[in-house]
């Protein structure tokens, strides 16, 4: 069985490079829970990456199909209209995608780069090895002769491990950059820029600032899918840390924070409660109405995006939006 798999990978020209060791995720979760839930920090907080276990990823896929949730449709609209422009303006022969997932939208870019005659290599980068291997082989099967170099890593820690060579375009899609607060974004841009050669680029997806009612509807859908997605992080804690969170003891709310310019995903304790965390030998207390923040989703003005990219040594070459002006794709090249 193993030999057959290796032969298939060799035939498809798939390389898999692994920088995440077994147990890394659990150790990181324990460390974050101690700092974010047990240290007295207010509000209590967890990274949004813990929302995306297998069940969380399924729920998020449902969210992207909700009528209220526009970002996925708008970004795809831009790619369908402008993938060719992106391929020509970047001049890239290597597409490197951060947080690649199934690489569904990425195929629009791969098709456009192949049409220019430049496409040589695809580098999907994600934290889930099993999922990434499946996605890498699927792309290699669809694009005959394409070299696929998959990298299993966490872009918070492993940006320096991105393979070099060729002329690279880094795609960071889906508005994921909005999950980073300003200081985190600055560090991310600086580290990414430091690893690029002059003329190499970043294609960045950003959700634009808009009517507050639409933002509220997108993150507080009537069907309750986003609420289930948000509460699922408590199931992750129960499974990974042997905790005893009661999911129904927390309400979902995602208001817009005007001061910070972000939608804030919250789980709100409906009563006073003490939750056991045996794996870290702690209890965590919640007062009635106390907030656990699970995600921020920053919304941007175009000039803000350009200024942040410029500060990192990345020159904005072109920006595209959907017809409604909800979402933007920005192409910036290293100076």
pLDDT at residue 270, rounded to an integer: 98
> pLDDT over 70 for what percent of the chain?
96
How many structural domains are present in the chain? 2
**Co-location of 162 and 82 in the same domain:** yes
Q: Higher confidence at residue 2 or residue 26? A: 26
Torsion angle, alpha carbons of 195, 197, 199, 203, to 10:
-20
- For range 308-328, the mean pLDDT: 98
Pick the closest to residue 208 from 313, 98, 296, 324 (CA basis).
Answer: 324
Q: What's the chain's length in residues?
A: 335
* Dist CA 146 CA 124 (whole Å): 13
Q: 289 and 183, same structural domain?
A: no
Confidence of residue 218 (pLDDT cuts 50, 70, 90): very high
Q: In this predicted structure, what is the pLDDT of residue 207?
A: 98
Judgement on whether residues 305 and 330 belong to the same structural domain of the protein: yes
Nearest to 317 by CA among 325, 301, 304, 329: 329
Give CB contacts under 8 A, 24+ apart, made by 69-72: 69/218, 69/221, 69/226, 70/214, 70/218, 70/326, 70/327, 71/174, 71/175, 71/207, 71/218, 71/326, 71/327, 72/174
Question: Band of the pLDDT at 7, cuts 50, 70, 90?
Answer: very low
Q: What is the pLDDT of residue 105?
A: 87
Segment 221-277, tens digit of pLDDT:
999 999 999 999 999 999 999 999 999 999 999 999 999 999 999 999 999 999 999
Q: Both 290 and 305 in a single domain?
A: no
Bridge partners of residue 266, in order along the sequence: 253, 293
Residues 38 and 151 in one domain: no
Mean pLDDT, residues 266-293: 97
Tens-place pLDDT, residues 141-187: 999 999 999 999 998 899 999 999 999 999 999 999 999 999 999 99
The answer to whether residues 174 and 76 belong to one domain is yes
Whole-angstrom CA distances from 224 to 179, 271, 274 are 21, 21, 26
User: What pLDDT is attached to residue 11?
Assistant: 61
pLDDT of 138 higher than 50: yes
> 171 is written with which tokens?
């795609």
Determine the Cα–Cα distance for residues 99 and 16; give it in Å rounded to an integer: 15
**Do both 195 and 105 map to the same domain?**
yes
Residues 154, 10, single domain; the answer is yes
pLDDT per residue as tens digits for the range 102-122: 678 899 999 999 999 999 999
Mean per-residue pLDDT, 30-45? 96
Partner residues linked to 250 by β-bridges:
269
78 shares its domain with 176: yes
- Whether 302 has a pLDDT exceeding 60, the answer reads yes
Q: Summarize the confidence of residues 65-76 as an average pLDDT.
A: 97
| Shared-domain flag, residues 200 and 305 | yes
Q: Does 182 share its domain with 244? A: no
- Whole domain around residue 61: which residue ranges? 24-66+212-298
- Does 83 share its domain with 167? yes
Strands 314-321 and 168-172 come out as: unpaired
pLDDT for 22: 86
With 50 as the cut, is the pLDDT of residue 299 above it? yes
Query: Rounded to whole angstroms, how far apart are CA atoms 110 and 83?
Result: 9
Q: What is the 3-state secondary structure (H, E, C) of the chain?
A: CHHHHHHHHHHHCEEEEECCCCCHHHHHHHHHHHHHCCCCCCCEECCHHHHCCHHHHHHHHHHCCCCCCCHHHHHHHHHHHHHHHHHHHHCCCEEEEECCCCCCCHHHHHHHHHHHCCCCEEEEEECCHHHHHHHHHHHHHHCCCCEEEEEECCCCCCHHHCCCCCCEEEEECCCHHHHCCHHHHHHHHHHHHHCCCCCCEEEEEEEECCCHHHHHHHHCCCCCHHHHHHHHHHHHHHHHHCCCCCHHHEEEECCEECCCCEEEEEEEECCCEEEEEHHHCEEEEECCCCEEEEEEEECECHHHHHHHHHHCCEEEEEEEECCCCCEEEEEEEEC
Q: Which pLDDT score is estimated for 6?
A: 34
- The model carries a pTM of 0.94
CA–CA distance, 28 with 71 (Å, rounded to integer): 29
Average pLDDT, the chain: 94
pLDDT at 74: 97
Looking at residue 128, its pLDDT comes to: 87
Q: Which of 216, 157, 218 is nearest to 184 (CA)?
A: 157
Domain at 142, CATH number: 3.40.50.150
Angle at 48 between CA 331 and CA 193, to 5 degrees: 30
């Amino acid at each position: 069985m193993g030999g057959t798999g290796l032969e298939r990978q060799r035939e498809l020209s798939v390389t898999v490079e692994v920088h995440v060791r077994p147990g890394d995720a659990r150790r990181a979760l324990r460390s974050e829970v101690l700092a974010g839930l047990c240290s007295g920090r207010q509000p209590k907080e967890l990274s949004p990456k813990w929302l995306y276990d297998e069940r969380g990823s399924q729920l998020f896929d449902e969210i992207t199909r909700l009528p209220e949730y526009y970002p996925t449709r708008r970004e795809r609209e831009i790619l369908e209209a402008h993938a060719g422009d992106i391929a020509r303006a970047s001049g890239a022969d290597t597409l490197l995608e951060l947080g690649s997932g199934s690489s569904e939208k990425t195929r629009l870019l791969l098709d456009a780069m192949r049409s220019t005659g430049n496409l040589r290599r695809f580098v999907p980068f994600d934290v889930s090895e099993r999922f990434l291997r499946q996605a890498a082989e699927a792309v290699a099967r669809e694009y005959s002769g394409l070299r696929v170099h998959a990298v299993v890593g966490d872009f918070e820690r492993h940006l320096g491990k991105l393979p070099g060579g060729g002329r690279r375009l880094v795609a960071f899609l889906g508005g994921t950059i909005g999950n980073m607060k300003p200081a985190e974004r600055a560090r991310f841009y600086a580290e990414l820029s430091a690893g690029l050669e002059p003329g190499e680029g970043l294609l960045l997806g950003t959700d634009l600032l808009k009517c507050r009612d639409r933002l509220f509807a997108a993150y507080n859908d009537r069907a309750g899918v986003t609420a289930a997605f948000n509460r699922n992080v408590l199931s992750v804690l129960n499974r990974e840390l042997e905790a005893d969170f009661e999911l129904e003891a927390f309400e979902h709310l995602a208001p817009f924070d005007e001061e910070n310019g972000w939608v804030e995903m919250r789980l709100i304790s409906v009563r006073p409660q003490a939750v056991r965390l045996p794996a870290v030998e702690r209890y965590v207390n919640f007062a009635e109405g106390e907030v656990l923040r699970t995600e921020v989703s920053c919304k941007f003005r175009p000039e803000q995006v350009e200024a942040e990219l410029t500060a990192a040594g990345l020159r904005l070459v072109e920006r595209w939006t959907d017809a409604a002006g909800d979402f933007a794709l920005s192409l910036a090249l290293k100076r």
